[in-house]
Structure 1
Amino acid sequence: MSEHLREKLNILADAAKYDVSCSSSGSDRKNTNKGVGNGHSSGICHTYTEDGRCVSLLKILLTNHCIFDCAYCVSRKSNDIERAAFTVDEVVELTMNFYRRNYIEGLFLSSGIFKNADFTMERLLRVVKKLRLEENYNGYIHLKTIPGASDELIKEAGLYADRMSINLEMPTESGLKLLAPEKTHGEVIRSLDFVQNQVVQFKDEKKLIKSVPKFVPAGQSTQMVIGATPETDKDIMYTADRFYKSFALRRVYYSGYIPISNDTRMPVLGTQPPLLRENRLYQTDWLMRFYGFNVRELLNDANPHLDIDIDPKLSWALRNLQHFPIDINTADYRMILRVPGIGVGSANKIVQARKFGKLHIYQLKNIGISYNRAKHFIKCADTPFQLKDYQATQIKGFILAESNSKYLKTDNNQLILF
């Protein structure tokens, strides 16, 4: 690799680190015609597939030049940073060389917007076409959709990419207008809607015509910046819920705002992004997607913010003690999932195991539930107490005390695990 290309890689890989939506799951693109790579078996960014495998992606921008001046973005045009741009051939060369050396298992390609949306999208398209058609590359490709790009370019890109994503940026239109007045949610929605309609159309054609090509087989995702604007957790998750339902998104990503600007419109956060809040939002997202919770159960006008000291599932349970304790030997699967300390896998095991007899505490522990947390919300064959004996604040105190008991504070207030 030439020194000039290495410098570009350092600049444009660093600029890409702020985009967290670099997932690599859902693809079923297999190796054909003795090509290179396999998106099915699947940088250098580490991410995880749906079945838990860790994969490496070459995560870069085509360029960090941008015509927009978004206050929250490190690549904004007014920011005094070192700029660079790859050629189409350079991205292809890097991807193939890194793949052959077993450094990566796929490509995540985004870009600042230079000249206009179509000009940028056309170059991203040229990269993926050359990889697929000239290099016979069958590995995973996650491609960013450029807001405002033409339907023709987006449709063609969808024939070569495994996943496409487009950043919503801010959770609300008002937040976006505050920090990026040149952008609108309307352009993002139009592109998401177009890709989703194409996915449905290609699937319908596949039922009639066997040779229909794949179109974005790993689906779409989006990303929101959290903490740069004053939205509540309720605002954020209601937006996520609406986009999940409207566009069948695979994921919504929540990126804690990293202070990179002295703009007076930006909040004062110190030097660290709001990582705990980000984590709570992901937990809420998980409950919505896999645990059967409606977003309005978790966040509403009475509870517009997530608790910082406890996770959203426990928070919901403490606010709804009228549903507990549940009898683990008779409750339906949906209610078992709602017990703090019981995950999807454990809930399935419980339903299967109780077919052979009533479950006792030791059996629940062997199944793998977090019994010290769950015990406040369940009863089984040998439960020693009833939940009604305690108030929500007491239960919360018990659980937090149990969690803290894993740590010992020294004289200098350092935490030691024992």
Structure 2
Amino acid sequence: MTDDRHNFGAEIELSGITKRYPGQRAAAVEGLDLTIPAGKTVMFVGPSGCGKTTSLKMINRLIEPSEGVIRIGGEDVTTTNPTELRRNVGYVIQGGGLLPHMTVAQNIGLVPGLLKWGKRRIADRVDELLDLVGLDPSTYRDRFPRELSGGQQQRVGVARGLAADPPVLLMDEPFGAVDPITRQRLQDELLALQDELHKTIVCVTHDIDEAVKLGDRILVLREQARIAQYDTPDRILGSPADDYVADFVGSGSKLKQLSLLRVDDVGVEEFPTCTIGEDVAAVAQRVRDRGEDSVIVLDARGRPHDWVWLRSLQAAALSGGRSGDTVPVPDIDLETTVERRSTVNDALDSMLVSSHGGAIVTDHGRYAGVIRYESVTEYIRALNAAGGRDDG
């Protein structure tokens, strides 16, 4: 972020947090003690009914704790105005939770408006955040939620959660309602955002693979939100605290290593690119000089739009019936991209739908190179030869 007012994450401390509901003998949450480091992502996992969502919602007091103290950045928020607290803690739910009668810009600008930001500042913030989550402001700011796909709604939901630049972002199963490919992209975007913003993110998920991918730490809960293990993904997978944790995360295997390895661990390779609007003949010559027969199409901002065979590119140019044909704007939804911080598992998934034996790698949405299937297998072979990671 370029704004000097940018807020980095704040430490969250839960001390003796308990929630009892009238008419129930057992507490929903019993004596939870937990410290969430500033600027880190912590994933809450556990079986249904274990209290993970209740614990999350007590942080911004959507659910009031019966006992205990919650501190954010050292300040006891259990004694502050709950409405003011919620305006300073971002909150993202499944499906984005957008207000259907408001435009995208109005949804994102809702909390800044309540905080009395000026109109120009709100408009600038809306455009900044839409760009940050990969949506063109000129295209999307005036649309209504019903005009967006599920993934786009979720992106807007994340933007709204970040609108007032809160130090803390709470996420309740944020990607559970979208298809697997969209979920992977949204996870990648969250990793890229966190790499830039360094917020304190607390996220509830039922998916252990998502927890391993996104979390700096994972909190595995038993019933009544009793802590079974609170540790790094490496140790959760490789050294589960007991049989309960081992059963929950699943048995260790070589495939689990791929959930810990990142694309950056393997490394990216250079590959020929062209820009929309370039002369096709010049592009074809340049690509052949590199000994390749395909090219990655980028837009003017360096974002990948397609990975196309030269023969297909030239056929498209010939069908136009014009001299000096240029690279057209692709009209497909590119599925073969991963972010630098994506898992190797995700990269392999993208490779399966690619006809090029690899996946395009981006860095905050901009083209960074490619990762090849052969590179992944060679890296894992070398890792195993050197002893690799603990297989659990």
Q: TM-score range by the shorter chain?
A: 0.3 to 0.5
Bigger RCO (CA 8 Å, 6+ sep): 2
TM-score (norm: length of structure 2):
0.33
* Higher Rg of the two aligned structures: 1
TM-score (norm: length of structure 1):
0.31
